[in-house]
Structure 1
Amino acid sequence: MELHVRYEGDDDPEKCTARALDRDDRVDLHRRPGSVPPGIVLDPHAEQALSPTDADWDRLVALDCSWETAEREAYDLPGERRALPFLVAANPVNFGHPFELTTVEALAAALVILGQRDQAERVLEAVRWGETFLELNAEPLERYADCADSSAVVAVQDDYLVD
């Protein structure tokens, strides 16, 4: 699956996972919204959850920016918007915090849900804590990947949010 990142450049370049992925040629980094091709846009504000039914797309697009500008920036990207379900961050800045994923975590989670686990593992090799992300989220990722559609993903997510 092709991976693209709309890069805003408002994070510390040394800690930026999108730049780490770009250095390893694992993603195409785009500095202008108009250069991003259409695909599944990972958007935390989307009304529909990502599910295995989205696997027909051959392209994932992530937005690498501060959380303050995420909503505005995501609407400049072409494609179908999907939100990731409940997952816990493994990155050193937000370790253990739900929904506060880095770009590499978001892309890897989406790949697992879409049935591309091998590619997710390769993507996570760009960061030293990548394997920890998969370990922390092993059960929910497996359950989400087994869902029939977006509403089933939301139902599984609700199991975690109730607890």
Structure 2
Amino acid sequence: MAKEDDPKKCTASKLIRFNLAEPIFKINGIPKNSIVLNPFSENLLSKEAKDLSQILVAIDCSWNKASNFFKRRIKGYNFRLPKLLASNPIHYGHISVLSTVEALAGALYILGYKERARLILSKFKWGLNFLILNEEPLEAYSKAKNSKEIIILEEEFFGKKFKSKEYNVVRD
């Protein structure tokens, strides 16, 4: 946890308070055999990754500082999520500018842990709306055999869009 955001709005902190996540305060504390959600990774998360590890790590940092943070080498299996719509109040409707809980829930859903995804989202007023907004893509991504299939699905659902220079993620 980088502790860069407003603590009242920090989804990672709330997950920790509900004992649904464990904090890691230093980057070298990330287990080397973990699946790390990295929005700048070239590797796309698919259910193929499920066999790599039972540890899922989301880095909680401000989107304003994310590109600098993720330039560092982060041990573990780094993957980016396929394109999804944010349902959080700050970035609602933006493609791939997700909160920590949305990123974790998206990964859990794709990896086959759908009930766990629902559980963590249920702790937020707007949380389950993430599943409603992304119902079709999440279901399709979770059924895809590999990342090549997910790339095709991303284009079907979201088309080819420009990349934002600010965040280096796809935006509307």
- What TM-score comes out, normalization by structure 1 length? 0.91
Deviation for aligned residue 1:126: 2.0
**Is the CA contact (8 Å cut-off) linking 1:33 and 1:76 kept in structure 2?**
no
Amino acid at match of 1:67: W
**Is the CA contact (8 Å cut-off) linking 2:43 and 2:79 kept in structure 1?**
yes
Indicate yes or no: 2:73 matched with 1:67: no
Is the partner of 2:45 in helix, strand or coil?
coil
Tell me the matched-pair count. Answer: 157
Structure 1 runs not aligned, ≥5 long: 1-6
Is the partner of 1:97 in helix, strand or coil?
coil
Indicate yes or no: 2:23 matched with 1:29: yes
**Is the CA contact (8 Å cut-off) linking 2:30 and 2:76 kept in structure 1?**
no
Match of 2:54 in 1: 58
Is the partner of 1:81 in helix, strand or coil?
strand
Deviation for aligned residue 1:18: 0.4
- What TM-score comes out, normalization by structure 2 length? 0.87
Deviation for aligned residue 1:67: 1.9
Indicate yes or no: 2:66 matched with 1:95: no
Deviation for aligned residue 1:48: 1.3
Indicate yes or no: 2:148 matched with 1:154: no
Would you tell me which structure has more strand in proportion to its own residues? 1
User: Residues of 2 paired with 1:84 and 1:40: CA distance?
Assistant: 11
Match of 1:128 in 2: 125
Structure 2 runs not aligned, ≥5 long: 161-172
The RMSD of aligned alpha carbons is 1.3
Aligned structure 1 segments of 4 or more residues deviating by more than 4 angstroms: none
